[in-house]
Amino acid sequence: MYIPSGEWVIILKARLQIINRIWKSLRFRIIMLLMIISSIACFLVKEVVVGAYEDRAVAWRTAEIQEQCTILSNQLVKSTYLRTPQSDVVDAELSQFSNIYNGRVIIVDDDFRIVKDTFGTDEGKTMISPDVITCFSGSGTSYYDSEAQYLDITTPITVTLDDKVKVEGVILASVSTDIIYETMTELNGKANIIIWIIVLIVLFFGVFLSNHMMHPFHRIVKGIEDVTEGYDSDFLHVSTYQETADISEAFNKMLGRMKILDDSRQEFVSNVSHELKTPLTSMKVLADSLLAQEDVPVELYKEFMGDITEEIERENKIINDLLSLVKMDKTSTDLNVKPENINELLERILKRLRPIAAKQNVELVFESFRPVTAEVDEVKFTLAISNLVENAIKYNEEEGWVQVSLNADHKYFYVKVADSGMGIPQESLDHIFERFYRVDKSHSREIGGTGLGLAIARNAVVMHRGAVKVHSEEGVGTTFTVRIPLTYIA
């Protein structure tokens, strides 16, 4: 079947993705970990057991051969074989020995001359090996070569003369350890089969265990998917492990926050509709009552039309405030910060607001403690301060005062807007920055408030990485303090 090269790349990529997915999955890693640990443990046990068998078997065989050699050495002494190495009995014993143990026996006299070699090849030759020399000093030696599978044992041939032990020769037995090797191979084979069985059992157990262990995580994923798809808005409760409990808690916190945001969005939408509807309802009532009457006097017409114009202005103000708020809700990348002379900027803002203050008989004063230059967005900063000063004028008393002051330290500048107005009740202080919140709805409406001014002011200040604080005492006055960094922190 011909597959175009482009498709090969796609197939290959898909395969790689699958491999990557498997490799990254916790299930796979648990299974692998179990298998690696179990096979390492099995191999270690096998090595220890087979190694112990080998040591034990070699020790047994060595002891057995040494015993046989001691018996042989006694016979050799008895038959003075070293001097006259012609004894059919001894020869038969030696060849029987080498047959039984599948090996070779060499007998060396005290001139290091080989008097007997069961292979019959080296008789008459001299043998000087470290083992033979050691053995002449009285103690036998043994050497095991596991690679070549043989065991070399030397035993001294001793005679006791006048209570003195004299080494007259050495028996050197070289025997095959084939049997040990074969047993070990068999043991290894069986151990390997057992290891495979164990690894397979661990694999099945691992698959089962990892499935079981992953179950709570699947429940979390399912729960999150359900919430995302809107099937379920319930909180997650998967407390099987501490980790899943932590994930559930973090998710629930996020869900809680999302719900609050959603609630506040819905509340905002219903507030907006309500606020926009109020002037329209008033206008409709005014227009309907005009239409319902016949021969309406011109004065009444004018009065009602004046009221309708006021409602239109109000509607316009709400829409403008909403637009400002929406702009403020956007990210701070919309800020157009430039170094500004804050003293001059505040003077300009207050100049614009002085006629409004004058209309209400409110004295508006500005006090600056030092010249301040800071990085601000002129339009948004102006909006924030204007709203605060306008409020200070609006919620003031006849003959009251508003004091705006400017100060700075090495990091921030501070604008204080203090008034001698009616103050804000303590229980309302936490809410005044909320959108559409008004302490006294009807009063605020009367004086043209929308309930958005402080929300706009706070957003504008926060966009500058600043903060607004309020302190108020009912019947005494209110002070808003704005703190903004001198250098804008992006």
In the bound state with ligand ADP, the residue whose beta carbon lies nearer, of 97 and 395, is 395
CA nearest to 447, candidates 394, 397, 392: 394
Taking CB under 6 A as the rule, does residue 482 contact ligand ADP?
Answer: no
- Looking from the CA of 256 toward its CB, the CA atoms found within 13 Å total 8
Measure the CA–CA gap between 307 and 58, rounded to whole angstroms: 118
Taking CB under 6 A as the rule, does residue 279 contact ligand ADP?
Answer: no
In the bound state with ligand ADP, the residue whose beta carbon lies nearer, of 42 and 454, is 454
**Category of 78 on φ-ψ map: left (φ > 0), alpha (ψ -120 to 50) or beta:** alpha
Residues 113-132 that bind ligand ADP (CB under 6 A): none
Taking CB under 6 A as the rule, does residue 444 contact ligand ADP?
Answer: yes
Write the single-letter amino acid at 260: I
Taking CB under 6 A as the rule, does residue 454 contact ligand ADP?
Answer: yes
Taking CB under 6 A as the rule, does residue 216 contact ligand ADP?
Answer: no
* Phi, psi for residue 169 in degrees, rounded to 5: -170, 180
Residue 291 beta carbon to ligand ADP: minimum distance, rounded to whole angstroms: 32
Residue 437 beta carbon to ligand ADP: minimum distance, rounded to whole angstroms: 6
Q: By CB under 6 A, which span of 80-88, 267-275, 338-346, 390-398 interacts with ligand ADP?
A: 390-398
Q: Judged by CB under 6 A, which of 156, 169, 400, 421 binds ligand ADP?
A: 421
Q: Judged by CB under 6 A, which of 381, 478, 484, 488 binds ligand ADP?
A: 478
In the bound state with ligand ADP, the residue whose beta carbon lies nearer, of 156 and 400, is 400
Are 436 and 451 in contact by the 8 Å Cβ rule? The answer is: yes
Taking CB under 6 A as the rule, does residue 392 contact ligand ADP?
Answer: yes
Q: Judged by CB under 6 A, which of 104, 449, 468, 482 binds ligand ADP?
A: 449
DSSP string computed for 123-159: TT-B---HHHHHHHTT--EEEEETTTTEEEEEEEEEE
In the bound state with ligand ADP, the residue whose beta carbon lies nearer, of 285 and 470, is 470
Taking CB under 6 A as the rule, does residue 438 contact ligand ADP?
Answer: yes
In the bound state with ligand ADP, the residue whose beta carbon lies nearer, of 409 and 473, is 473
In the bound state with ligand ADP, the residue whose beta carbon lies nearer, of 378 and 430, is 430
Burial 233-271 (b: 16+ CB within 10 A, else e): eeebebeeeeebeebbeebeeebeeeeeeeeeeeebeeb
Are 149 and 176 in contact by the 8 Å Cβ rule? The answer is: yes
Taking CB under 6 A as the rule, does residue 275 contact ligand ADP?
Answer: no
Q: Judged by CB under 6 A, which of 386, 391, 420, 459 binds ligand ADP?
A: 391
In the bound state with ligand ADP, the residue whose beta carbon lies nearer, of 106 and 455, is 455
Taking CB under 6 A as the rule, does residue 383 contact ligand ADP?
Answer: no
Are 225 and 241 in contact by the 8 Å Cβ rule? The answer is: no
Measure the CA–CA gap between 364 and 402, rounded to whole angstroms: 5
Measure the CA–CA gap between 344 and 368, rounded to whole angstroms: 10
Residue 431 beta carbon to ligand ADP: minimum distance, rounded to whole angstroms: 8
Contacts of 360 (CB under 8 A, 6+ apart): 393, 394, 396, 398, 400
Measure the CA–CA gap between 385 and 240, rounded to whole angstroms: 54
Specify the DSSP class assigned to residue 293: S
Q: By CB under 6 A, which span of 85-93, 165-173, 272-280, 444-452 interacts with ligand ADP?
A: 444-452
Taking CB under 6 A as the rule, does residue 432 contact ligand ADP?
Answer: yes
Measure the CA–CA gap between 251 and 257, rounded to whole angstroms: 10
Cα–Cα separations (whole angstroms), residue 430 to 227, 291, 427, 441, 472? 32, 45, 7, 17, 12
Taking CB under 6 A as the rule, does residue 452 contact ligand ADP?
Answer: yes
Site size with ligand ADP, rule: CB under 6 A? 23
Measure the CA–CA gap between 140 and 63, rounded to whole angstroms: 11
Q: Judged by CB under 6 A, which of 171, 364, 422, 463 binds ligand ADP?
A: 422
Taking CB under 6 A as the rule, does residue 439 contact ligand ADP?
Answer: yes
- Binding positions for ligand ADP, rule: CB under 6 A: 387, 391-392, 395, 419, 421-424, 432, 437-440, 444, 449-455, 478
